[in-house]
Structure 1
Amino acid sequence: MGRPWGGEHQPTTEPTVLRSETTPMSTAWDTYAETRPQRPVTNRTGQFTWWNWTQYPDHGPGTELLGQPQNVLDLGCGDGRNIAHLVSNGATGIGVDIAGLQVERARKRWSPAYYNELTFAHADAVDYLLRSEERFDAITSVFGAVWFTDPTVLLPLIVDHLTPGGVFAFSHEPPIQGCYGCQGSYIRPKGTGPPRVVRRWAYDGPMWFNILIRAGFVHITTDIIDAPDSDGVGTLLVRAERPA
């Protein structure tokens, strides 16, 4: 049964935050966060927390892909809304993001006085996993660190941090046909200053299937979630498990 949330339960204190040093990559993602509008407080049905795999509000499947995890790690958690939704339904959660600005937003929005089992870490995903010994029932990444980290480095760490039978699920935009692998792009600041450089790893479903097999995952599925209208870009959704 989910925890209640309403106006009388608004956050009053700040959640636990693990901090990382500022790096060129974290600065790049802070720049990105500054250029993006913050998400609304509630969705169309008035919920304060909800899960969304896609870039479109209230569209696509929900947390049923994860089963009933007791503890969850979200890599590239942004403002924390997805991981907060899982915590509101009984899980413990850790949200990791390389952008300090996003972590600060999460701190202001989600309180340990209410969500006692929610922690935020300001860290690079690889660095976080290298220093963590915790195991998780589910690890997720929604347009997050999995898209922007070399999978040959990240995926072995993810499989090692899952419990036997644990679920790994992530989503991102499908690649442009013929454009695969590591790609660079610029993030331009709102005002003056040089553009920031980020990299992402673009693969389609069959490519991810083979990459995940090599990393040791099983029960792999890949799907395209169509956009809600014909002009939009779909979402690639991938699910895999650590062997039981």
Structure 2
Amino acid sequence: MGDTTWLNWTQYADHGPNESVLGPVAGRRVLELGSGSGSNLAHLVTLGASGLGVDIAPAREPVARERWGGLPGIEFRTAEATEFLHETDETFDVVLSIFGAVWFVDPDILLPLIRSRMAPGGILAFSHLPPGSQEPQSGRAGVRYDRTPDEWERALTTHGFSDVRVTLIDPPEGRSEGTMLARALAA
């Protein structure tokens, strides 16, 4: 992590774009899928958003609550992303996933669910390592949905998103792995 609440799209602290990828967040409802310790979501809340962080790991919620629970407009839940999206009736203006659920859940299941919970014109943004940057893993916990930028563009468009942009962020000097960043609008 970089500064206390600095949003990190990449795996390197203080590297890559900032929250401007999401457009203005003040007054918007934000959902983070795979919120971890809550730092990225907390940063958006300090900018005027209200935020809900969902993470599948039970140990993450108490850590996030301990660190960020005092911020007005922030909450955390332990849930699997597709189950949460099936059960909630909330609508979100911004959905983000930084090395989170979008990388680990079948996009043909997850993307339509995300789209169904988004306000018209809402923004979906997510990041993860580029395809082929890690050895394949077996078992449910190790499955990653590595897609090329073109494959993500097709998947997002197919599932109701427009103005899709998928870019590769070069790593900082001395590092070998970059980061893929996708952004799309709810059509």
TM range (shorter): over 0.9
Summarize deviations over 1:8-66 as a string: whole Å, max 9, x none.
xxxxxxxxxxxxxxxxxxxxxxxxxxxxxxx5xxx3xxx42110000000000011011
- d(CA) in 1 for partners of 2:174 and 2:145? 25
The counterpart of 2:66, out of the listed 103, 108, 121, is 108
TM-score by length of 2: 0.93
Kindly state the Cα deviation for residue 176 of structure 1 after the two structures are TM-superposed: 1.1
Structure 2 counterpart of 1:20: none
- List aligned pairs for 1:1-244, cutoff 5 A: 43=2, 47-69=3-25, 70-111=28-69, 114-176=70-132, 184-185=137-138, 197-243=141-187
Structure 2 counterpart SS, 1:201: coil
Summarize deviations over 1:96-133 as a string: whole Å, max 9, x none.
0000111121111112xx31210101000000000011
Kindly state the Cα deviation for residue 230 of structure 1 after the two structures are TM-superposed: 4.6
- d(CA) in 2 for partners of 1:231 and 1:217? 33
Aligned residues between the structures: 184
- d(CA) in 1 for partners of 2:51 and 2:59? 19
Report sequence identity in percent. 44
Larger Rg: 1
Given residue 84 of structure 1, which amino acid in structure 2 is its aligned partner? A
Given residue 88 of structure 1, which amino acid in structure 2 is its aligned partner? T
- d(CA) in 1 for partners of 2:15 and 2:128? 14
Given residue 7 of structure 2, which amino acid in structure 1 is its aligned partner? W
Aligned-CA RMSD value = 1.7
- d(CA) in 2 for partners of 1:132 and 1:110? 23
Kindly state the Cα deviation for residue 185 of structure 1 after the two structures are TM-superposed: 3.7
- Structure 1 unaligned spans of 5+: 1-38, 187-195
TM-score by length of 1: 0.72
Q: Is the 2:65–2:75 Cα contact (8 Å) retained in structure 1?
A: no
Q: Is the 2:125–2:182 Cα contact (8 Å) retained in structure 1?
A: yes
Given residue 150 of structure 2, which amino acid in structure 1 is its aligned partner? P
Given residue 150 of structure 1, which amino acid in structure 2 is its aligned partner? D
- Structure 2 unaligned spans of 5+: none
Structure 1 runs of 4+ aligned residues shifted over 4 Å read none
Given residue 33 of structure 2, which amino acid in structure 1 is its aligned partner? L
- d(CA) in 2 for partners of 1:203 and 1:235? 12
- d(CA) in 1 for partners of 2:102 and 2:160? 16
- d(CA) in 1 for partners of 2:141 and 2:9? 25
